[in-house]
Amino acid sequence: MEAEFMAECCVIVAAPSGSGGRRVVVDDRVLGMAYSLHDLTVFLHHAGLVAGDELDVAETELIEWHGGGPEVWPCLGGGPDCWVAPGGPASR
């Protein structure tokens, strides 16, 4: 099932920041910082822009991803699977 977007708009998910979050912008309006695909899905639901689950959101072509796609969500706790934003704290 493809995500059903309620309105044609430009959704931009920014590159990961040093804090690990990704800024979510819709038509020049900042919705917030998403720290996971779940966060992004919740933002889009609350804004009335999408009806669907995380997989639908990840697969839609209506989102412009910067600094990596829907699989790039840095974690703050470190570990082998964590990604560090350029200029962010170095992993140990």
Assess whether pLDDT exceeds 50 at residue 53.
yes
pTM score, whole prediction: 0.73
In angstroms, the first-to-last Cα distance of the chain is 41
Cα separation, 33 vs 31, whole angstroms: 7
Q: What distance in Å separates the CA atoms of residue 69 and residue 79, rounded to the nearest whole number?
A: 20
pLDDT at 82 over 80: no
Structure tokens at 12: 């931009």
Residue 41 near residue 57, CB atoms below 8 Å:
yes
Backbone angles phi, psi at 34, to 5 degrees: -100, 135
Query: Would you put residue 87 in left (φ > 0), alpha (ψ -120 to 50) or beta?
Result: left
Could you read off the pLDDT of 13-26 as tens digits, one per residue?
A: 999 988 789 999 99
Res 83: pLDDT: 53
Q: What is the pLDDT of residue 91?
A: 40
Task: Please name every residue paired with 29 in a beta bridge, in sequence order, or none if there are none.
Answer: 26
